[in-house]
Amino acid sequence: MIELRNLSIFYGETQVVKEVSLSIARGASFALVGESGSGKSTILKALAGQVTDWTGQIRLGDHSLEHGRDPALVRLCQMVFQDPFGSLHPRKSVDATLSEPLAIHRIGRQNERVLEAMDAVGLARKFRFRLPHQLSGGQRQRVAIARALMLNPPILLLDEPTSALDVSVQAEVLNLLKSLREDHGLTYFLVTHDLPVVSFLCDELGVLRNGELTEVTSVERLKQGNLQSEYGNELLSKSH
Amino acid sequence: MSLLTVENLRVSFPTEQGRVEVVKGISFELGRERLGIVGESGSGKSMTGRALLRLIREPGLVTADQMNFDGIDLLTLPEKGMRSLRGARLSMVMQDPKFSLNPVMRIGDQISEVLRFHGRLNRRARRQRVLQALQSVRIQDPERVYLQYPHEVSGGMGQRIMIAMMVVLEPDLMIADEPTSALDVSVQSQVLDIMDDLVRNKGMGLILISHDLNLVARYCDRILVMFNGRIVESCIASELHQASHPYTRGLLASVPTMDERRERLPVLDRALLEGLETHD
């Protein structure tokens, strides 16, 4: 579903991602882990079309990603951001946030679709006309997930989706992400530094260091505390 | 004798619906030990820390039957006395170095400002103390860092600088409010180890405020669990896993583990917890 071939990404003169190749099957849940500055978020941004200075090939399903603005991209993959406080428009109600993608893409049945999406992410219908500041962190993240699902994309990009949340709320959002994937057959590409979250939500992981992929392995090996690369195990020993 | 005694501490803020209490009468004592306060956002844990330093501004209101630090009554101490206490004997490490360091002041000068305010050292002696403090938080080349600005250092280094600033005067009690949540996992333990060393070697008291149960269990002797402005459980850190309150148990269970086999994570039954509270 997601295929990267010799992907290199540049910020001006600096090469931040070096010749990364990856292949993620349809319906899989893949995690990219690494320290800050390793380039993991940069890869996510390239997939989302936010970073355009890259070489190599990015394929999403049957579609080869173009440099620059690619209108096909938004129907293929959507992103959920880390900070539910910063990623929702403060003066748009839940209803406005969720209807906007439908209006842009001229999709009908807006009323029903908004309600369906709210039901799907477990957000009570009474919140429909609330503004973000009237919602809790967990509820906001539900809105962000619902928004990402409005266009029914097969791929979801998740950028540390729970690290800004309390552990009990994190559990709710992780459960939601897990059941959404099962119900809709979604493919997940998760970027995080929280290895236990990977253990719960994913089945494969890649370890990134200084822009280079040091290993790709099954989450089963992570659960057994036995990654292949030395660096992977070092990362494992540092998290508690 | 205990270093800090708090009895029936209450913090409230006015809202359109009347005053809302965010800390609802908590009491605890602290010796020269490491105390952890855990809870979720909104549990009142940060407000407790701030109230101890009297950092809650109007219209917030702090009341207590007793708030005593090493024989000094923190409730009646005039602001001037409070200022000479803060930093020198009671200090606080904030969450995010990006927002807590002055961006237009060299790092060395920022740390030295504390010494200038509280001490009578001359310029050269101050510089020596700052360099020592930087070294004590394991900064390799203190001379270079002394001259740098906050944006030139990484997050982990920034947080170590904040700690250096707090320990340069060797306070008796350090309050650390989420000192590592803005940092990468790989540097978190490094920063905490440094803090731990300083606390042990200098015999300081520490209050570590965090939402991370496992982290607090690892670095503290005793733990207070807060929920809705109250202390619902108090236990020895090593016995956290035998905690009995449903809130503590719920929090512990909801954290995914490295070897996670559960299909779904258990979530807190908030209605039940709030029900428990009214029956107390």
Q: Are A208 and A214 in contact (CB under 8 A)?
A: yes
Enumerate residues 15 to 54 of chain B having a beta carbon within 8 A of any beta carbon in chain A. Answer: 40-41
Rounded to an integer, the average pLDDT of B74-90 is 91
Distances (CA, A) of B103 to A139, A229, B96, B112, B151: 34, 39, 13, 15, 7
H or E element at residue A8: strand A2-11
When CB atoms are compared, the residue of B185, B254, B256 closest to A193 is B185
Instruction: Return the residue of A nearest to B214 by Cα.
Output: A240
What integer pLDDT is reported at residue B94 of this predicted model? 83
Q: Which amino acid is at A193?
A: H
Inspect the interface and report whether the beta carbons of B260 and A178 lie closer than 8 Å. no
Pick among A135, A166, A210 to test the B interface (most B CBs inside 10 A): A166
Instruction: Return the residue of B nearest to A193 by Cα.
Output: B185
Distances (CA, A) of A212 to A15, A20, A54, B254: 11, 7, 15, 33
Q: Are A234 and A214 in contact (CB under 8 A)?
A: no
Instruction: Return the residue of A nearest to B256 by Cα.
Output: A196
Q: Are B164 and B133 in contact (CB under 8 A)?
A: yes
CA distance A34 to A231: 10
Domain that holds residue A13: 2-88+157-238
Q: Are B91 and B174 in contact (CB under 8 A)?
A: yes
pLDDT at residue B275 tops 90 = no
Tokens matching residue A235: 């990362």
When CB atoms are compared, the residue of A167, A168, A238 closest to B186 is A238
CB atoms within 10 A of CB A79: 23
Give the gap in angstroms from C-alpha A119 to the nearest C-alpha of chain B. 19
**B30 — pLDDT class (breaks 50, 70, 90):** very high
Instruction: Return the residue of A nearest to B155 by Cα.
Output: A36
Pick among A134, A139, A168, A172 to test the B interface (most B CBs inside 10 A): A168
Q: Which residues of chain A have pLDDT under 50?
A: none
User: Could you tell me the sign of the dihedral formed by the alpha carbons of A159, A161, A163, A164, in that order?
Assistant: positive
What pLDDT, in 10s, does the model give residues B184-229? 777 788 888 888 888 888 888 999 999 888 889 989 999 999 999 9
Helix/strand/coil for A186: coil
CB-based contact, A203 to chain B, within 8 Å:
no
Bridge partners for B226 per DSSP = B231
Show the beta-strand stretches assigned E in B158-204: 173-177
Bridge partners for A5 per DSSP = A57
Whether residue A32 lies inside any domain: the answer is yes
CB atoms within 10 A of CB B167: 22
Rounded to an integer, the average pLDDT of B109-119 is 90
When CB atoms are compared, the residue of B215, B257, B268 closest to A168 is B268
CB-based contact, A168 to chain B, within 8 Å:
yes
What integer pLDDT is reported at residue B211 of this predicted model? 87
Instruction: Return the residue of A nearest to B262 by Cα.
Output: A200
Q: Identify the residue whose tokens are 């962190």.
A: A137
Inspect the interface and report whether the beta carbons of B254 and A168 lie closer than 8 Å. yes
Inspect the interface and report whether the beta carbons of A168 and B250 lie closer than 8 Å. yes
Percent of chain B beyond pLDDT 90?
48
Q: Which residues contact B184 (CB under 8 A, 6 or more apart)?
A: A35, A36, A193, B155, B156
Tokens matching residue A238: 């540092």
What fold is seen in the domain B4-89+169-279?
Rossmann fold (3.40.50)
When CB atoms are compared, the residue of A167, A225, A235 closest to B255 is A167
What integer pLDDT is reported at residue B271 of this predicted model? 75
What pLDDT, in 10s, does the model give residues B173-186? 999 998 887 777 77
CA distance A140 to A97: 11
CB-based contact, A169 to chain B, within 8 Å:
yes
pLDDT at residue B274 tops 90 = no
Whether residue A98 lies inside any domain: the answer is no
What integer pLDDT is reported at residue B102 of this predicted model? 93
What integer pLDDT is reported at residue B191 of this predicted model? 84
Helix/strand/coil for A216: strand
ipTM given for this complex: 0.80
**B279 — pLDDT class (breaks 50, 70, 90):** low
Inspect the interface and report whether the beta carbons of B189 and A171 lie closer than 8 Å. no
CA torsion B174-B178-B181-B185 (nearest 10°) is 50
What pLDDT, in 10s, does the model give residues B245-268? 999 999 899 999 889 999 999 888
Number of domains comprising chain A: 1
CATH of the domain at A169: 3.40.50.300
Q: Are A38 and A211 in contact (CB under 8 A)?
A: yes
**B1 — pLDDT class (breaks 50, 70, 90):** low
Instruction: Return the residue of A nearest to B212 by Cα.
Output: A167
By the 10 Å C-beta count (0-12 exposed, 13-18 middle, 19+ buried), A230 is classed as: exposed
Query: Kindly report the CA angle at B55 between B52 and B61, in degrees rounded to 5?
Result: 85
Inspect the interface and report whether the beta carbons of A223 and B184 lie closer than 8 Å. no
CA distance A81 to A101: 17
Q: Are B226 and B43 in contact (CB under 8 A)?
A: yes
What integer pLDDT is reported at residue B67 of this predicted model? 94
Query: For chain A, how big is the Rg over CA atoms in Å?
Result: 18
**Exposed e or buried b per residue across A160-170, where buried means at least 16 C-beta atoms within 10 angstroms of its C-beta:** bbbebbbbbbb
Give the gap in angstroms from C-alpha A121 to the nearest C-alpha of chain B. 15
pLDDT at residue B42 tops 90 = no
Q: What residue segments make up the domains of chain B, in order of their start?
A: 4-89+169-279, 96-168
CA distance B193 to B151: 24
**B146 — pLDDT class (breaks 50, 70, 90):** very high
CA distance B19 to B21: 6
By the 10 Å C-beta count (0-12 exposed, 13-18 middle, 19+ buried), A88 is classed as: buried
What integer pLDDT is reported at residue B277 of this predicted model? 66
What pLDDT, in 10s, does the model give residues A140-174? 999 999 999 999 999 999 998 988 888 888 999 99
| Cis geometry, peptide bond prior to residue A84 (ω within 30 degrees of 0) | no
Rounded to an integer, the average pLDDT of B7-36 is 92
What integer pLDDT is reported at residue A240 of this predicted model? 61
CA distance B12 to B92: 21
